[in-house]
């Protein structure tokens, strides 16, 4: 079986690029080339290249590991995007030029970012990849930030790379680029801008910080497309649909959404041709999506993990659990301000997307990195709901599910390691708490942005403690059944 590549001919039912990718130059450098970017930004750009052309192909950079580059470079950047709804469609994406990774990552990435043709640096590195605190400051304890502050000339992290590239552009008399964060942080562009300026100032480059502030732009974005990790089945399906071996295939849902602030420093693709919405202020959209979709996701991931549901669709197949998802969506919607959209319709559409039987979205995948996700997904709306007097029980249930998930033990009574950048500290907190109730203040001290002290007091604090106890003593399934009856 031949590998997918620029010269591979269409022999399956998959759609092939409707343009000649190699005739377009790269205008974007993308940091972090995971499945989400391949299903979202790269697919949007593919559509624009097909409809409008332009020098907007993408050079990818893998900040960690070489496996994505090893899969994609022998395929000339081509990969199959499989869309699974009521029907299955496959499309070969031609946007990606090549992927930079490995020991020469820093120098090659900087060279790509300082080419005059580079006009946008886009990013999907997940919440934990940046080194920004939940308030939006530079997190100097983040391993990549700390290392890059030590040796800013050979950066390995997002912020270090952006600052070094902008410094080189300034020195060469080149214009700045747009920095486009596409991760699920609230105010992603704004926070990244602040952290970049702090990094520039911290490396004694005050003049540079001023130049970046005046010339580079950092639009905030809301991004959405449910994209599970690829499996052997994904690769098998891609092979059947394209007639070629593809080690970089991705599967995703039909729905996609992208809302972007239209503040680009040096032009942009007409992403609106592929459905992107350009607005003056992304904040309300981002609040809606982070609190409703992602908030419900985190709730169902922890409660799903604790009740034996491997996939989101399994949660939705349990009527009681699905009722809790709808309850969460409603409570989250009540905290969203300033959006002239019918949030009941949005909530119903989300529940439909979660049901999608053709998407195997693992609850274990969503459960990862809770300390990075829960502040914007659960804690912020919980505090606002408390203040406004709207329902808070769903947020207490979500946080209790996370706490109980951290305290899980295997059949021999040993704690189960969680996948989180703060896993060691979380494990110590669990080990040090004399009982499960004592865990709450310990976790609040450790991660006040996940469990703000105000949520440990009063009625909210009482519900939280009681739910954690109940999940521990009766099991999650019993608690789900009872919560759904309330
Ligand atoms: C999920 C998101 O893994 C997670 O935490 O909540 O990746 C989610 O699927 C996307 O944000 C959907 O756009």
pLDDT given for residue 416 in this prediction:
86
Neighbours of 277 (CB within 10 A): 14
Q: Note whether 107 and 90 are within 8 A (CB).
A: no
Taking only the tens place, the pLDDT of each residue in 71-82 is: 999 999 999 999
Cα–ligand 1 centroid distance for 7 (angstroms): 34
Average pLDDT of 386-390? 98
pLDDT given for residue 444 in this prediction:
98
Q: Note whether 254 and 271 are within 8 A (CB).
A: no
Q: Note whether 460 and 386 are within 8 A (CB).
A: yes
| Residue 225 Cβ < 6 Å to ligand 1 | yes
Taking only the tens place, the pLDDT of each residue in 296-322 is: 999 999 999 999 999 999 999 999 999
Give the position of tokens 């979380």.
426
pLDDT given for residue 437 in this prediction:
76
Average pLDDT of 111-117? 98
Q: Work out the burial of residue 337: count CB atoms within 10 Å of its CB; fewer than 13 is exposed, 13-18 middle, 19 or more buried.
A: exposed
The vertex-138 CA angle with 142 and 134, nearest 5°, equals 85
Among protein residues, the one with the nearest Cα to ligand 1's atom 4 is 366
pLDDT given for residue 112 in this prediction:
98
From its phi and psi, is residue 250 left (phi > 0), alpha (psi between -120 and 50) or beta? beta
Q: Note whether 148 and 156 are within 8 A (CB).
A: yes
| Residue 220 Cβ < 6 Å to ligand 1 | no
Cα–ligand 1 centroid distance for 334 (angstroms): 21
pLDDT given for residue 278 in this prediction:
98
What's the rounded Cα separation, in Å, for the pair 385 and 334?
A: 8
Average pLDDT over the chain, rounded to an integer: 97
| Residue 286 Cβ < 6 Å to ligand 1 | no
> Rg of the chain's alpha carbons, rounded to an integer?
23
Asked if pLDDT for residue 1 goes beyond 80, the answer is no
Asked if pLDDT for residue 396 goes beyond 80, the answer is yes
Alpha helices, H only, 53-157: 67-72, 105-113, 143-150
pLDDT given for residue 107 in this prediction:
97
Among protein residues, the one with the nearest Cα to ligand 1's atom 13 is 224
Taking only the tens place, the pLDDT of each residue in 404-423 is: 999 998 888 888 889 999 99
| Residue 40 Cβ < 6 Å to ligand 1 | no
Average pLDDT of 467-475? 96
> What's the longest Cα–Cα distance across the chain?
66
Q: 451: which strand partners?
A: none
User: What is the share, in percent, of the chain residues with pLDDT greater than 90?
Assistant: 95
Average pLDDT of 29-42? 98
pLDDT band at 378; cut points 50, 70, 90: very high
Among 37, 294, 298, 372, the mutation site with the greatest number of ligand 1 atoms within 8 A of its Cβ is 294
Dig out the tokens for 385 from the structure: 């709901």
Cα–ligand 1 centroid distance for 377 (angstroms): 11
| Residue 365 Cβ < 6 Å to ligand 1 | yes
Asked if pLDDT for residue 250 goes beyond 80, the answer is yes
pLDDT given for residue 204 in this prediction:
84
pLDDT given for residue 91 in this prediction:
98
Atom index in ligand 1 nearest the CA of residue 257 equals 13
Cα–ligand 1 centroid distance for 223 (angstroms): 9
Among protein residues, the one with the nearest Cα to ligand 1's atom 5 is 366
What's the rounded Cα separation, in Å, for the pair 294 and 207?
A: 39
| Residue 257 Cβ < 6 Å to ligand 1 | no
pTM (global) more than 0.90: yes
Asked if pLDDT for residue 358 goes beyond 80, the answer is yes
pLDDT band at 238; cut points 50, 70, 90: very high
Average pLDDT of 417-437? 93
């Amino acid at each position: 079986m031949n590998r997918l590549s620029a010269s591979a001919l269409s022999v399956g039912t998959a759609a092939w690029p409707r343009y000649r990718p190699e005739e377009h130059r790269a205008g974007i450098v993308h940091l972090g080339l995971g499945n989400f970017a391949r299903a979202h930004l790269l697919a949007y750009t593919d559509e624009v290249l097909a409809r409008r052309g332009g020098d907007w192909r993408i050079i990818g950079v893998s900040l960690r590991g070489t496996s994505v580059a090893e899969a994609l470079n022998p395929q000339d950047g081509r990969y199959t995007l499989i869309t699974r709804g009521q029907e299955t469609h496959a499309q070969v994406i031609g946007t990606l030029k090549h992927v930079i990774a490995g020991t020469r990552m820093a120098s090659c990435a900087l060279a790509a970012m300082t080419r005059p043709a580079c006009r946008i640096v886009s990013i999907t590195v997940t919440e934990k990849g940046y080194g920004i605190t939940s308030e939006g400051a530079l997190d100097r304890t983040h391993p990549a930030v700390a290392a890059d502050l030590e040796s800013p000339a050979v950066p390995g992290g997002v912020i270090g790379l952006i600052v070094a590239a902008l410094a080189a552009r300034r020195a060469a008399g080149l214009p700045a680029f747009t920095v486009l964060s596409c991760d699920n942080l609230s105010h992603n562009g704004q926070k990244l801008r602040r952290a970049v300026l702090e990094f520039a100032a911290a490396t004694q480059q005050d003049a540079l910080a001023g130049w970046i502030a005046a010339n580079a732009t950092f639009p905030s974005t809301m991004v959405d497309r449910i994209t599970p990790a690829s499996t052997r089945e994904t690769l098998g399906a891609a092979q059947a649909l394209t007639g070629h071996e593809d080690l970089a295939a991705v599967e995703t849902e039909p729905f996609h959404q992208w809302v972007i602030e239209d503040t680009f420093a040096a032009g942009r693709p007409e992403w609106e041709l592929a459905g992107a919405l350009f607005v003056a202020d992304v904040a309300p959209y981002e609040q809606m999506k982070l609190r409703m979709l992602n908030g419900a996701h985190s709730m169902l991931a922890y409660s799903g993990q604790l009740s034996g549901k491997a996939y989101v669709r399994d949660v939705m197949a349990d009527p009681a659990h699905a009722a809790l998802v709808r309850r969460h969506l409603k409570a989250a919607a009540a905290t969203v301000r300033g959006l002239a959209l019918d949030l009941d319709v949005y909530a119903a559409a989300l529940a439909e997307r979660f049901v999608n039987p053709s998407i195997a979205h693992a609850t274990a995948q969503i459960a990862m990195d809770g300390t990075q996700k829960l502040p914007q997904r659960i804690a912020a709306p919980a505090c606002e709901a408390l203040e406004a007097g709207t329902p808070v029980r769903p947020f207490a249930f979500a946080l209790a599910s996370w706490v109980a998930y951290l305290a899980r033990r295997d059949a021999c009574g040993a704690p189960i390691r969680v996948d989180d950048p703060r896993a060691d500290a979380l494990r110590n907190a669990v080990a040090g708490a004399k009982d499960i109730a004592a865990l709450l203040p310990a976790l609040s001290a450790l991660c006040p942005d996940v469990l703000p002290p105000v949520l440990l007091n009063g009625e909210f604090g009482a519900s939280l403690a009681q739910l954690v106890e109940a999940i521990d003593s009766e099991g999650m399934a019993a608690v789900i059944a009872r919560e759904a009856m309330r």
